[in-house]
Amino acid sequence: MQICELIERCQLQGIITMSEKTILVWFRNDLRVHDNEILFEAIRKADKVLPVYCFDPFYFKTTELGLSKTGNIRARFLLESVADLRHNLQKLGGDLIVRTGNPADIIPQLAQQYQASEVYHHREVAFEETKISEDVETALWKIKLNLKHFIGHTLYHKEDLPFPIKDIPDSFAVFKKKVERDSAVRPCIETPRHISVPPIIDPGKIPVLADLGLTEPFDDPREIFQYKGGETAGLEQLQRYILGTGQPAVSRGGKYTADHSSRLSAWISLGCLSMRWVYRQVTNNTHGSHNSNSPLILELLWRDYFRFMFKKHGRQLFSPERLKDDQREPAPNQDELFEKWKTGNTDVPYIDASMHQLNATGYIGNHNRQIVAGFLVHQLKADWRKGAAYFEEKLIDYSPASNSGNWAFVAGVDKDPRDNRYFLGAKQAAELETQSHFINTWLSDVYDDDSSLASVI
């Protein structure tokens, strides 16, 4: 059936009335109903709201390095998160239209089908994400519709910073000092109580992993922490963290102890949790030990910093001078070394244990990320972009600005003037424990049966 025929039929059946205003809400990395400005504003301004999510095949392709853009652990988390969003919208009387395909085709097509007068989305910052929204914007222009951009991914709103984007300090220390002194975190946006959607003809099925060309991940019994995608599970994990009853987190030293790691990153990266919500819950809480001095708040600021650095520098984020300075002679057997690093076969127990944990679970703590990244870049002399691409495939919490920003920081090719970021790099890592609970846990397959190594990769 032609689209115009379908629209006519809907009008005849009273599904769409010409006088009603409909706004299409395009969900991307903001899979929540709490503190969600695009949803709230659409409900406020329109009679009907059309929530849409697109699974874009671009994110499930294989890159030039032969790596998947999205590995199966993160893909499963995403599928669960979209299902949870649909469920939460249904509880409010709404629904979520789900499609697989290029958003530049799908969004305008749905906008026409449901006679939406505008499309709302949250602005992204990294190259690929902004290219996708530019393509959608161009396609919408062709049918005379506007794509309205909102800011919703940061703790501090861009307009509340004490400096224009072009003057944001490149040093994290200066950025932190000025933002904490001169800016305030905005209150959260009200959670809607009801959503009115037009009668939806075909809500669409949420794909399964096989539809995305992926296999079901194996849930490694060595991992204590269980991830479940979605706003509901994210809010529960936040409560557990605040009350101090979370499952044991992996400490900075990689040992299983209860420490400050919140394990919230996967939910924050997909926007199942808003940064502001986390901030408010942590700073207002009277139960546990957390408050505005919580280490979590500092960590959230790092996330903002990398995002704003992307906004400020764009493609120049990775300083050409530093990239030039960084032209160390690459190791002749680069590919072989990269393969050993990826598979956790470097013969440095701490590095190998970390990579096994990453491959098996999609997560390693910040300290371990710094160590394995430093080892790849400084000891194996590999291109940091290869490491970043590998993290993109594997991390359950992959987020472009946080990933590239941290990798560039470790490699020393970013804009922060701070020197000597070899952290606890290769040399020190090798000197770290060779026997510990962490190492024994994640290298147990090697010790038990050398031939089983491939099974955790």
Ligand X SMILES: Cc1cc2nc3c(=O)[nH]c(=O)nc-3n(C[C@H](O)[C@H](O)[C@H](O)COP(=O)(O)OP(=O)(O)OC[C@H]3O[C@@H](n4cnc5c(N)ncnc54)[C@H](O)[C@@H]3O)c2cc1C
Buried b (16+ CB within 10 A) or exposed e, 345-368: bbebbbbbbbbbbbbbbbbbbebb
Contact residue for ligand X among 26, 114, 227, 306 (CB under 6 A):
306
Nearest CA to 267 out of 58, 32, 6 is that of 32
Q: Which is nearer to ligand X, 74 or 99 (CB)?
A: 74
Stretch that binds ligand X, among 184-192, 229-237, 352-360, 394-402 (CB under 6 A): 394-402
The yes or no reply on residue 341 touching ligand X (CB under 6 A) is: no
Burial (CB < 10 A; 0-12, 13-18, 19+), residue 450, is exposed
Report phi then psi at 27, rounded to 5: -80, 140
Shortest Å, Cβ 416 to ligand X: 12
Q: Supply 267's token pair.
A: 């939910």
Beta bridge pairs of residue 122: 150
The yes or no reply on residue 290 touching ligand X (CB under 6 A) is: no
Q: Supply 385's token pair.
A: 């972009």
Stretch that binds ligand X, among 123-131, 132-140, 179-187, 299-307 (CB under 6 A): 299-307
Residue with tokens 């037009």: 198
Over the window 211 to 250, marking each residue x when it contacts ligand X by CB under 6 A and - when it does not, the resulting string is ----------------------------------------
Beta bridge pairs of residue 26: 52
Q: Which is nearer to ligand X, 35 or 118 (CB)?
A: 35
Q: Which of residues 408-437 bind ligand X (CB under 6 A)?
A: 410
Shortest Å, Cβ 250 to ligand X: 8
Contact residue for ligand X among 279, 310, 375, 407 (CB under 6 A):
407
The secondary structure of residue 68, as a DSSP letter, is B
The yes or no reply on residue 365 touching ligand X (CB under 6 A) is: yes
The yes or no reply on residue 366 touching ligand X (CB under 6 A) is: yes
Alpha-carbon Rg for the chain, nearest whole angstrom, is 23
Buried b (16+ CB within 10 A) or exposed e, 185-224: bbebbeebeebebbeeeeebebbeeeebebeebeeeeebe
Distances (CA, A) of 270 to 13, 46, 254: 38, 26, 25
Q: Which of residues 256-275 bind ligand X (CB under 6 A)?
A: 261-265, 268-269
Report d(CA 341, CA 352) in Å as an integer.
Answer: 7
Shortest Å, Cβ 161 to ligand X: 17
Shortest Å, Cβ 1 to ligand X: 43
Stretch that binds ligand X, among 13-21, 125-133, 201-209, 366-374 (CB under 6 A): 366-374
The yes or no reply on residue 395 touching ligand X (CB under 6 A) is: yes
The yes or no reply on residue 396 touching ligand X (CB under 6 A) is: no
- 281-288: list long-range contacts, CB under 8 Å, 24+ apart: 281/238, 281/239, 281/242, 282/242, 285/242, 287/242, 287/243, 287/244, 288/242, 288/243, 288/244
Stretch that binds ligand X, among 1-9, 67-75, 141-149, 302-310 (CB under 6 A): 302-310
Contact residue for ligand X among 213, 220, 302, 444 (CB under 6 A):
302
Report d(CA 431, CA 348) in Å as an integer.
Answer: 9
Shortest Å, Cβ 115 to ligand X: 38
Stretch that binds ligand X, among 40-48, 330-338, 391-399, 442-450 (CB under 6 A): 391-399
The yes or no reply on residue 104 touching ligand X (CB under 6 A) is: no
Amino acid symbol at 351: I
Shortest Å, Cβ 296 to ligand X: 5
The yes or no reply on residue 357 touching ligand X (CB under 6 A) is: no
Site residues (vs ligand X, CB under 6 A): 261-265, 268-269, 296, 299-300, 302-303, 306, 365-366, 369-370, 373, 391, 395, 397-399, 402-403, 406-407, 410
